[in-house]
Amino acid sequence: MEMNFQQPSRSETRSASHRQNKSRRLFKLLAIAAAAAALSACGSIVPNPLEAQQLAQTNLSDRAAAQRDVEPISGALTLDEAMARALKYNLERRTRLMEEALALNQLDVSQLDMLPRLMAQAGYSDRNRERATYSMPYQPKYGPRSTSSSFSSEASHGTADLGLTWNMIDVGLGYYGSRQQADRVLIASEKRRKAMHLLMQDVRTAYWRAASAQKLRGDVARTIVAAEEALADSRKVEAERIRSPLDALRYQRQLLENLRLLEGIEQELSIAQVELAALINAPLGQTIRIAEAEVSLADDGVLKLPLERLEESALENNADLREQHYNGRVAREEVRKTMARLFPNLSFNYGLKYDSDRYLVYNHWNEAGVQLSFNLFNLLTGPTQIKLAETGVALADQRRVATQMAVLAQVHLARLQLLNARSQFLRADAIYGTDQKIAEQVRNRASAKAQSQLDQVANETTAILSLLRRYQALAQVHVAENRLMANLGLEPRIGSTSELSLAELTRQISANAKPWAALQPARAAR
């Protein structure tokens, strides 16, 4: 059966053909230009080393950013203020806080994976020849092909669609992925806690080193000058042969040994200010004045607690152990994700379509569909994938068990180290007291010309060394105490360091200087 269509006029046909040819040429020119631009961009990439001016500007801006919003140190620096400054301004701690914030933002992003996908697309297609086809009637055996041909689409036409797709497997994977990311946020929080414990430990050590440097700097300088003068006098006596050369050399040998000790002390003390300034993010060239504080032992309340209570606190609060618990939860969620991937995939689709093809009866239409698919190879690979995920769970459990045993051992070791550090401080304090009395007696005798200059230098050096060891022993007491608190998972209960002012943060740290006091009521209840 033949169907007759109204043929367009020759002018209309010519005009339509002219428009089609013009659009084709424009499209081809745009495609060629885009391809040429892409190729030229790929070929123009060359190594671009940093320039000195660019580095200088970046370094200057980084240094300004490091000191931005940092309150200057006014007056003498106390230990509580030093720890508050470290918690608020330390650059490494700021990095840990940003890592935790990044993990929290990733949790928000991972929750979006459960939403449907709404895709908007637009396109344009062009052929150099129209899509003309022949037809063939349906017969048990194919008959002859028709001698007439027809067009079913334009050679050039544009398309656009807006489609909504919701994949059930993506919803399941997004749900379990969000649960994993939530645990990773908690892992980042535990890592921040551990970094805070290490930071407080380093601040305590650096603070007492700086305090000893401030206390001893003048005495060390005066004793070095006295030793140098005594050494010059001895060499003069040796040159004039007033005394036996051997006695003079032995005298110089002892002076040089004392000078070596004093210079070693001076070198050790010289870096204390830089270490403390780096920890609290203070200007490195600034001299930090340490507040005069009584050098004495802190409260030994934590040592009066039974070991069972300490172990219980460590198992509940230790940052490393809690991190392993969260890692185990992440591994278990991975098993559930693996099992979800093995299920058949059910997806829902709905779209709004448009095609500018003038041969179509309807250029706008809507589509909806449901699709169920299943990868048959999952029947073969599924058990292996589940076994691998379960092996990860077993590994996480084994790591947790090993960490638990290590934490308990660290609690016992830290308690013993604190006991030994306190004992060493008491001994160093007694030695310092004795050396101070000896040095006082020697100074009195030296003023009466009844003591040689060598003996005076030697005793002053011994007194300085005793005081240095006293401060070092006190620092070790604080370090051991902080190490035990870190193993117990205890830290000062403070608010947000970004929201609190430095003065408020210092007050909170001072009020919570003994976090193990929270364990006392639990012990009494037992």
The model's pLDDT over 106-136, given as tens digits with 9 standing for 90+, comes to 777 777 667 777 777 777 777 777 777 777 6
Q: Which of 334-338, 345-349, 475-479 has the lowest mean pLDDT?
A: 475-479
pLDDT at residue 523 above 90?
A: no
Q: What value does the mean pLDDT of the chain take?
A: 80
Contact 482, 490 (CB under 8 A): no
Nearest 5°: CA angle at 23, between 18 and 26? 125
What is the topology classification, in CATH, of domain 75-122+156-516? Outer membrane efflux proteins (OEP) (1.20.1600)
Which of 323, 303, 477, 506 lies closest to 399, judged by CA? 323
DSSP 90-147: -HHHHHHHHHHHHHHHHHHHHHGGGS-EEEEEEEEEE-SS--EEE-----SS--PPPS
The length of the chain is 526
**What is the b/e burial string over 1-35, where b = at least 16 CB atoms within 10 angstroms of the residue's CB?**
eeeeeeeeeeeeeeeeeeeeeebeeeeeeeeeeee
Q: Bigger pLDDT: 514 or 264?
A: 264
Q: What number of H helices and E strands is found in the chain?
A: 13, 6
**pTM to 2 decimal places:** 0.74
Residues forming a β-bridge with 132: 151
Model confidence at 524, in pLDDT bands (50, 70, 90)? very low
Please list, in sequence order, all residues whose beta carbon lies within 8 angstroms of the beta carbon of residue 289, skipping any fewer than 6 positions away.
75, 76, 77, 214
What integer is the mean pLDDT of 254-277? 82
DSSP label at 293? -
What radius of gyration, in Å, describes the C-alpha atoms of the chain?
40
Indicate whether 404 pLDDT > 90.
yes
Higher pLDDT, 117 or 40: 117
Pairing relationship of beta strands 156-167 and 345-355 according to DSSP bridges? antiparallel
* Residue 52: pLDDT over 80: yes
> Who wins on pLDDT, 429 or 233?
429
Query: Would you state the pLDDT for residue 328?
Result: 94
Residue type, 378: N
Which of 493-502's residues contact partners 24+ apart within 8 Å by CB, and which partners? Answer: 494/87, 497/87, 497/88, 497/97, 498/88, 498/97, 500/88, 502/71, 502/81, 502/84, 502/85, 502/88
pLDDT score recorded for residue 2: 42
Q: Lowest-confidence range among 1-15, 280-294, 492-506?
A: 1-15
Give residue 196's pLDDT. Answer: 85
Q: What average pLDDT does the segment 479-499 reach?
A: 82
What whole-number distance in Å separates Cα of residue 356 and Cα of residue 362? 10
